[in-house]
Amino acid sequence: MAGWIIAVALAGAALGGGVPDKPAPLPPYGAAYTPTTVDERGLWQQADEAERDLRDSPVVVRDAALNAYMAKVLCRSVGEDRCRGVRIYVVRAPVFNASMMPNGMMVVYTGALLRLRDEAELAAVLGHEFGHFEQRHTLASFRRGRTIGDIIAWTSMISPYSTLPASLIQLHFAYDRAQESEADMMGLRYLTAAGYRPFAASHIWERLMAEQDATALGRKRHVTHRYAAGFFADHPTHLSRAIDLRAAAGSEGDRGDDALDAFQTAMRPWRAGFLADQIKLNDFGGSEYLLAELANGAWTPELLLTRGELYRERGNPRDLVSAAQFYQQAIDQGCTDPVAWRGLGLSLLRGQQVAAGRAALKTYLEKAPAASDRAAMAMLIGEGGVQ
């Protein structure tokens, strides 16, 4: 019975899917590459429309130096001949993510840039996404999903209680996870070939796991690290990615360049902004972990200021005491951002230290006379507004 159902379903899928056409033999990153099959051309056109939208969108970070740096890292990682087929868009979003469209449009979130530690890790992420592009993963996934959808449609007509659809859906996601693993390995090969430190790829996932644990703890949730991917998971678990990448990196995994200085120089102008976006996520545990991770024992004024903002935002009386300390430490270490005095003043005022709080707010207004919240701060100092 089951065999008969599958045969009918496959026949139906063949009818619906039409003649399977093979993609062009050329690699998709070539300068003159043009997709030829109906499916690939359709997907490229859809991606072109999406890129047209994103290109003009205000969420894209347009800074020339940052974009040049991203392109440089991609070119070093995958090679000058390959990287020309890709356009990178840095999108302002405070979560760890990056994605690849079939037409060579790559998106990297600022949240990923904040979490990466050095250039080797960035190269691992870019190489992974490039692997999706090179192997035409979107096209393969689209076709597989369509065929599976067709079979499910026929099966549900012919045999509504069949378990075949569930198996097929499981299969679809298993294939998607296999694509991710393949892209991971391609990224690692590019990383190694470019002379970067191979362990960088696994380090990303190890730290992300720790951050997820911290987020869960901060939200009083169970820490759930899975060893196997769930039914609907389109990516392998962080744990298996970390283990596989570490194993594939081999015994020489710790040798190689991490280009830490170049990465830090490129990110320095941006980090304060990325941090400000991060703490608006209302993720105390994850943000606190991330800050400690970034500080790595050496708290800079910028990180101390952000930590103060994070604690002041949570706002328990004990948090305000901590926040005031962090602001004060940032100021003592030479912080020049006026926001530090505002944070200090507001924390002290809430903690009933009125005189000291007002003094800090006065300093804030002296340092930022054109601040948009000037009127509100003046009122708190007692110099104006409705008392």
Q: Is 26 in the site for other proteins (CB under 8 A)?
A: no
Residue 263, number of CB atoms within 10 A of its CB: 21
Structure tokens at 177: 């996870």
> What gap in Å lies between CA 372 and CA 377, rounded to an integer?
10
- Quick note: the x/- pattern for other proteins over 88-117, rule CB under 8 A, is -----------xxxx---------------
> In one letter, which amino acid is 378?
A
Whether 165 contacts 156, CB under 8 Å = yes
Q: Residue 43 CB, nearest distance to other proteins (Å)?
A: 6
Of 10-18, 117-125, 208-216, 351-359, the segment contacting other proteins by CB under 8 A is 10-18
Task: Name the residue nearer to other proteins (CB basis): 163 or 282.
Answer: 163
Q: Is 230 in the site for other proteins (CB under 8 A)?
A: no
Q: Is 148 in the site for other proteins (CB under 8 A)?
A: yes
Q: How many residues belong to the site for other proteins (CB under 8 A)?
A: 49
Sheet holding 98-100, edge to edge: 87-91, 105-109, 98-100
> In one letter, which amino acid is 105?
M
Of 56-64, 249-257, 294-302, 307-315, the segment contacting other proteins by CB under 8 A is 56-64
Q: Residue 146 CB, nearest distance to other proteins (Å)?
A: 5
Q: For the chain, what's the residue count?
A: 387
> In one letter, which amino acid is 366?
E
Residue from the set 27, 79, 149, 351 that interacts with other proteins by CB under 8 A:
149
Whether 83 contacts 166, CB under 8 Å = no
Q: What is the gyration radius of the CA atoms in the chain, in angstroms?
A: 26
Q: Residue 45 CB, nearest distance to other proteins (Å)?
A: 4
Q: Is 45 in the site for other proteins (CB under 8 A)?
A: yes
Which helix H or strand E contains 135, and what residues bound it?
Answer: none
Q: Is 128 in the site for other proteins (CB under 8 A)?
A: no
Structure tokens at 151: 């079979």
> What gap in Å lies between CA 183 and CA 276, rounded to an integer?
32
Q: Is 18 in the site for other proteins (CB under 8 A)?
A: yes
Task: Name the residue nearer to other proteins (CB basis): 128 or 307.
Answer: 128
Task: Name the residue nearer to other proteins (CB basis): 33 or 142.
Answer: 142
Structure tokens at 211: 């951050």
Whether 278 contacts 93, CB under 8 Å = no
Task: Name the residue nearer to other proteins (CB basis): 91 or 100.
Answer: 100
Residue from the set 27, 42, 195, 338 that interacts with other proteins by CB under 8 A:
42
At 228 the three-state DSSP class reads: coil
Task: Name the residue nearer to other proteins (CB basis): 204 or 335.
Answer: 204
Residue from the set 12, 273, 338, 351 that interacts with other proteins by CB under 8 A:
12
Of 77-85, 153-161, 236-244, 313-321, the segment contacting other proteins by CB under 8 A is 153-161
Distance in Å from the first CA to the final CA of the chain: 82
Q: Is 44 in the site for other proteins (CB under 8 A)?
A: yes
Burial profile 237-251: b = 16 or more Cβ within 10 angstroms, e = fewer:
bbbbbbbbbbebbee
Q: Is 157 in the site for other proteins (CB under 8 A)?
A: yes
Q: What is the largest CA-CA distance in the chain?
A: 85
At 98 the three-state DSSP class reads: strand
Residue from the set 3, 25, 31, 56 that interacts with other proteins by CB under 8 A:
56
Q: Is 47 in the site for other proteins (CB under 8 A)?
A: yes
Q: Which residues bind other proteins (CB under 8 A)?
A: 12-13, 15-18, 38-39, 41-47, 49-50, 53, 55-58, 99-102, 132, 137-138, 141-142, 145-146, 148-154, 156-157, 165, 169, 172-173, 176, 232, 234
